[in-house]
Amino acid sequence: MNDPVFVAGTGIISAIGNNTAECLDALENSRAGIDNMQYFDSVHRQKIPVAEVKLDNVALAKLSGLANTKSRTALLSLVAAKEAISNAGIKNIAALRTGFISANSVGGMDKTEKFFAEFLSNNQRGKLRDVVHHECGSITELVADQLGIKDYVTTISTACSSSANAIFFGARLIKNNILDVVVAGGTDALTKFTLNGFNTLMILDEQFCQPFDENRRGLNLGEGAGYIVLVSEKVAAFLSKKPTVKLSGWCNANDAYHQTASSPDGNGSFLAMSGALKKSGLLPQDIDYINLHGTGTQNNDIAEGTAIKRLFDPQYPRMSSTKAFTGHTLGASGGIEAVFSILAIQQGIIYPNLRLQTPMKELPFMPVTDFIKNTNVKHVLSNSFGFGGNCSSLIFSKL
């Protein structure tokens, strides 16, 4: 039960790159992936910027090996998951007790929207194959089949904390000797339902978002997928590439304050972060970097910032929101940012909080605005806070 859980591999696709190396290069050179819509069809095309993966479905299908008739959510998932497994270098994954725990919030809704547009104009039109994989779990099963993972397959959908919850659930399965290896993380594609829903909430920024800025206006939606491969101590011992990072702490909490807003005093955020610290056996001053949830909305940033002040005052670690690069990828955000957190430890780097001009007047700290390299990063706290007050924090540590 107290055995460590190691990170053996990472995989990612996002608006700033189609793999880990491309994303890392964009982060180092401050290239954000937010722009006007190119592939996503919406009446808001010229008004609301988004962070799209820079490939159409035909190109994604070729990269993933999955048919382009499948949901974009599944295509993104398979690209990142395959990279994570390849990066881990586990050659006999089929011989191990392996699980695939994947998060998403939209399932195959992109295909369903296409079906209904045609069906409503003429009830003899529309391809039923576009609605077969509508629900979230179907996306996970499609990808698991392609990966050849059969021992344990499940889906988590808790809004923006989904991927983080998938990751620590995977760790618990390994710790309890139920599985040897878990590919965990999440995926989400842009859909009209999501964009229109967030627009109705009036929390989308019509400019490029500015997380933790006094004059922040809202978030930019994004898409992508991020996965990590977690392994037991027994599996880690036989890997040719020895793990350098472990998942040392995690916690999920719920303040149940509001359906779509965080409590202003940051209770859920505080409980998640302090619980993860307790689980890891670390103190606040041990954390070297916080990957902020940092959506850029008025409510989220003050809630998260207040919780950080409550927990870390007066000694604050360096911190930043990478959503200024990737947009808010919803169910994929915890997985994508877990990859960034692991890379921060492995590469000895801290990411900049892009477009931060004016510090928030309520907070005594300010996120990092420059890319920092050649620094010792031992412990990273990654925050993922979702609708309904579902808040999760992960802590990754150098071995």
If asked whether residues 106 and 38 sit together in one domain, one would say yes
- Those residues whose C-beta lies under 8 Å from the C-beta of residue 58, and which sit 6 or more positions away, are 68
Cα 276 to Cα 294: distance, rounded to the nearest angstrom: 18
If asked whether residues 84 and 227 sit together in one domain, one would say yes
Check residue 47 and give its pLDDT.
96
* Last residue of one domain, picked from the residues 210, 236, 262: 236
If asked whether residues 78 and 127 sit together in one domain, one would say yes
Check residue 316 and give its pLDDT.
98
Check residue 263 and give its pLDDT.
75
Which of 76-90, 105-119, 274-288 has the least mean pLDDT? 105-119
Check residue 260 and give its pLDDT.
63
Token pair of 372, please? 């920092």
Which of 123-127, 315-319, 324-328, 329-333 has the least mean pLDDT? 123-127
Q: What is the pLDDT of residues 52-77, one digit of tens each?
A: 999 999 999 999 999 999 999 999 99
Tell whether the model's pLDDT for residue 323 goes beyond 70: yes
- Residue 232 belongs to domain spanning: 6-236
Percent of the chain whose pLDDT exceeds 90: 89
Segment 185-212 shows an average pLDDT of: 97
CATH number of domain containing 124:
3.40.47.10
Cα 363 to Cα 367: distance, rounded to the nearest angstrom: 11
Q: What is the pLDDT of residues 236-249, one digit of tens each?
A: 999 999 999 999 99
* Last residue of one domain, picked from the residues 209, 236, 263: 236
Kindly indicate the confidence band of residue 229, based on its pLDDT and cuts at 50, 70 and 90.
very high
Check residue 256 and give its pLDDT.
78
Q: Is residue 241 assigned to a domain?
A: no
If asked whether residues 200 and 80 sit together in one domain, one would say yes
If asked whether residues 205 and 271 sit together in one domain, one would say no
Q: Is residue 243 assigned to a domain?
A: no
Check residue 1 and give its pLDDT.
61
Check residue 20 and give its pLDDT.
98
Q: Is residue 10 assigned to a domain?
A: yes
Check residue 389 and give its pLDDT.
79
Do residues 328 and 357 lie in contact, with contact meaning Cβ atoms separated by under 8 Å?
A: no
Which of 1-15, 250-264, 366-380 is modeled with the greatest confidence? Answer: 366-380
* Last residue of one domain, picked from the residues 236, 264, 295: 236
If asked whether residues 231 and 329 sit together in one domain, one would say no
**Dihedral class, residue 89 (left if φ above 0, else alpha if ψ from -120 to 50, else beta):** left
Check residue 126 and give its pLDDT.
85
If asked whether residues 261 and 171 sit together in one domain, one would say no
Catalytic residues: 160, 293, 328
Tell whether the model's pLDDT for residue 130 goes beyond 90: no
Q: Is residue 280 assigned to a domain?
A: yes
If asked whether residues 196 and 309 sit together in one domain, one would say no
Kindly indicate the confidence band of residue 151, based on its pLDDT and cuts at 50, 70 and 90.
very high
Q: What is the pLDDT of residues 88-127, one digit of tens each?
A: 999 888 899 999 999 999 999 999 999 888 888 888 888 8
Q: Is residue 32 assigned to a domain?
A: yes
Average pLDDT, the chain: 95
If asked whether residues 216 and 264 sit together in one domain, one would say no
Q: What is the pLDDT of residues 161-193, one digit of tens each?
A: 999 999 999 999 999 999 999 999 999 999 999
* 3-class DSSP string for the chain: CCCCCEEEEEEEEECCECCHHHHHHHHHCCCCCCECCCCCCCCCCCCCCEECCCCCHHHHHHHHCCCCCCCHHHHHHHHHHHHHHHHHCCCCHHHCCEEEEEECCCCCHHHHHHHHHHHHHCCCCCCCHHHHCCCHHHHHHHHHHHHCCCCEEEEECCHHHHHHHHHHHHHHHHHCCCCCEEEEEEEECCCHHHHHHHHHCCCECCCCCCCCECCCCCECEECEEEEEEEECHHHHCCCCCCCCEEEEEEEEEECCCCCCCCCCCCHHHHHHHHHHHHHHCCCHHHCCEEECCCCCCHHHHHHHHHHHHHHHCCCCCEEECCHHHHCECHHHHHHHHHHHHHHHHHHCCECCCCCCCCECCCCCCCCCCCCECCCCCCEEEEEEECHHHEEEEEEEEEC
More confident residue, 46 or 76: 76
If asked whether residues 171 and 305 sit together in one domain, one would say no
Cα 389 to Cα 352: distance, rounded to the nearest angstrom: 27
| Domain count of the fold of the chain | 2
Q: Is residue 242 assigned to a domain?
A: no
If asked whether residues 200 and 309 sit together in one domain, one would say no
If asked whether residues 215 and 282 sit together in one domain, one would say no
Segment 365-393 shows an average pLDDT of: 95
